[in-house]
Amino acid sequence: MYAILCKPIVIHPPKSNPVLSGKDCRIVKLTPSQVSEDKLELEILEAPPIVIDPTEQSKDS
């Protein structure tokens, strides 16, 4: 299974409550742990980081 792992940041929009978002993200591969049945291990893949610009508005809004 693959996932995106991001460093969380807090955004303070004007006249609104703070929101959690990501900024610098990486693609990771998740596999079941061989040591413990209820845990996953992740491997950060060699891929360019994904950068999210929190100031950019979605075209759908």
What is the average pLDDT score of the chain?
A: 85
Q: With 70 as the cut, is the pLDDT of residue 28 above it? A: yes
Q: Would you state the pLDDT for residue 5?
A: 92
Q: In this structure, is residue 29 part of a structural domain?
A: yes
Across the range 24-41, mean pLDDT stands at 92
Domain that holds residue 2: 1-8+24-51
**Is 35 domain-assigned?**
yes
Confidence (pLDDT) at 23? 84
Residue 40 inside a domain? The answer is yes
CB under 8 Å, gap of 24 or more: what pairs does 34-43 form? 42/3, 42/5
Would you say residue 54 has pLDDT above 80? no
Sign of CA dihedral 43, 49, 50, 52: positive
Would 18 be classed as within a structural domain? no
Q: How confident is the model at residue 37 (pLDDT cuts 50, 70, 90)?
A: confident
